Amino acid sequence: MAIKNPIAGLNKIFDNRVRLGVMSILVVNDEISFNDLKQMLEVTDGNLATHLLTLEDEKFIKVHKGFIGRKTNTTYSVTKTGEKAFGDHISALEKMINGIK
């Protein structure tokens, strides 16, 4: 069998720090609101919204639109696909670090 290329598992989608952050947060929490994400990642509304859209298009995250009183409350959770892609990405990162050491 050929030696596996460690970089093969790396996912381009997670190259971005914000998207990586969103995924890290979502895999350990059931559901997180837009505002909580914004607070934890310290990014602007527009910036976060763009990255969330990318992740949504990849079907890595699910969006739930709800209301608290009259205010909209949008929450996000990770999908099975997203969880798997994220896991593969971390394994690839680990392999890279171990390979070069």
Partner 1 sequence: MSEHNQSLEAIQDIRRMMKRSSRFISLSGLSGIAAGFWALLGSFFAYNWIYEYYQGYKVSGYTGSSFQLLKYNLLALAIIVLIAALVSAYYFTWLKAKRNNMPLWDHTSKNLLINMLIPLIAGGLLILAMFRYDEWRFVAPISLIFYGLSLVNGSKYTLDDIRYLGFLQILLGLINTQFIGYGLYFWAFGFGVLHIIYGFIMWWKYERGNRQKSFA
Q: Which residues sit at the interface with partner 1, rule CB under 8 A?
A: 14, 17, 20-21, 24-25, 27-29, 32-33, 36, 39-41, 90, 93-94, 96-97, 100-101
Q: Which of 76, 77, 73, 97 is nearest to 10 (CA)?
A: 97
To partner 1, the closest distance from the beta carbon of 66 in angstroms equals 15
Which residues does 47 contact at the CB level (< 8 Å), separation at least 6? 18
Output 20 or 61, the one with its CB closest to partner 1.
20
To partner 1, the closest distance from the beta carbon of 39 in angstroms equals 6
To partner 1, the closest distance from the beta carbon of 91 in angstroms equals 11
Distance in angstroms (rounded) separating the CA atoms of residues 76 and 53:
11
Residue 78 near residue 60 (C-beta atoms within 8 A): yes
